[in-house]
Amino acid sequence: MNNTYGSKTRKGWSLTAILLMTVLVLSACGSKATDNGGTNGAQASNELEQIKSAGVIKVGMMGTYAPYNFLNDKKEMDGYDADIAREVAKRLGVEVEFVSQEFSGLTPSLQAKKLDAIISQMTITDDRKKVLDFSDPYITNQVKIIVKEDNNDITKLEDFKGKTIGVGLGTNDESYLRNEVLPKVGDFTIKTYDDVISSLKDLNAGRIDATINNLYALKPIVDANGFNIKAVGEAIKSDQAGIAVRKDNPELVAALNDALKGMKDDGTYDTIFKKWFGEEPAQ
């Protein structure tokens, strides 16, 4: 009976020792995992270092918005935005990878980490700054009303009442029409489009009464398609576009701003601007 009790006691102590060692090992592993997790978290927060480590920056743009971003005859991304992106990437010491998609999908893709940045004429607005960070502006656009060549009835925003107005889906222009123009002017219909060319085709065919866009975007599309459309009146607003990145990336934003400043200081920015718009950038 005593031997049996002693045997049971020894087995009990052995089991206790095994359990204790298991707890200690797991605790040590947990501590290491926490330490590593903290380090990885710090690295993950600095996306500039991740981009440099990967050697590439993934840039989202529509690819259907000449002369800003479009596919050329060689099916390569081309345009003002594309040249800005290539030069910025060069100054970051990485390659650029272009990812094209509809404008309305660019922000979700950026937030889902499918992109590192958006360089696609994204206007800097207070609403967008709630969910995105922006570089300093890299272009200022004057936006005007665009109508058919033979339309003399629409020359100002007040003339939109009772009309159908086309605009890009998810753009600052759409927000402007819905939130600022519609309440002031009165009832008119807003028809949205995934790209500029589709809205101008509908305008040219008389399916909408007017649209709003900037003059830099208008000229090459009209020249290429022979549309009978025109810009009328004074500029209704002025927009500034910046490079958009995910929130809380001060290192990346600072690096982008340094690249843009360097481009302006050494004349590279002016060269790119004149290449695509035939004039000096507005100061």
CA 225 to the chain's CA centroid: 27
**Residue 118 sits in which domain range?**
47-138+242-277
Residues 134 and 259 in one domain: yes
Long-range pairs of 257-261 with CB within 8 A, sequence gap ≥ 24: 257/135, 257/136, 258/91, 259/87, 259/88, 259/91, 259/92, 260/88, 260/135, 260/136, 260/138, 261/136
11 within domain boundaries: no
Residues 116 and 228 in one domain: no
Q: For residue 128, name the pLDDT band (cuts at 50, 70, 90).
A: very high
pLDDT tens-digit profile of 13-54? 444 444 434 433 444 444 444 344 333 444 455 999 999 999
Residues 247 and 124 in one domain: yes
Residues 235 and 148 in one domain: yes
Residue 4: predicted pLDDT: 42
Euclidean distance between CA atoms 91 and 262, whole angstroms? 9
Residue 16: predicted pLDDT: 43
195 within domain boundaries: yes
Residues 111 and 59 in one domain: yes
Q: For residue 283, name the pLDDT band (cuts at 50, 70, 90).
A: low
Residues 189 and 172 in one domain: yes
Residues 124 and 53 in one domain: yes
pLDDT tens-digit profile of 82-122? 999 999 999 999 999 999 999 999 999 999 999 999 999 99
Which CATH number fits the domain that encloses residue 131?
3.40.190.10
Q: For residue 218, name the pLDDT band (cuts at 50, 70, 90).
A: confident
Residues 157 and 176 in one domain: yes
Residues 113 and 197 in one domain: no
pLDDT tens-digit profile of 225-261? 999 999 999 999 999 999 999 999 999 999 999 999 9
282 within domain boundaries: no
Residues 98 and 163 in one domain: no
234 within domain boundaries: yes
Mean pLDDT score of the chain: 87
Euclidean distance between CA atoms 277 and 123, whole angstroms? 19
Q: At residue 126, does pLDDT exceed 70?
A: yes
Q: Give the number of domains in the chain.
A: 2
Q: Which residues contact 22 (CB under 8 A, 6 or more apart)?
A: none
Q: At residue 161, does pLDDT exceed 90?
A: yes
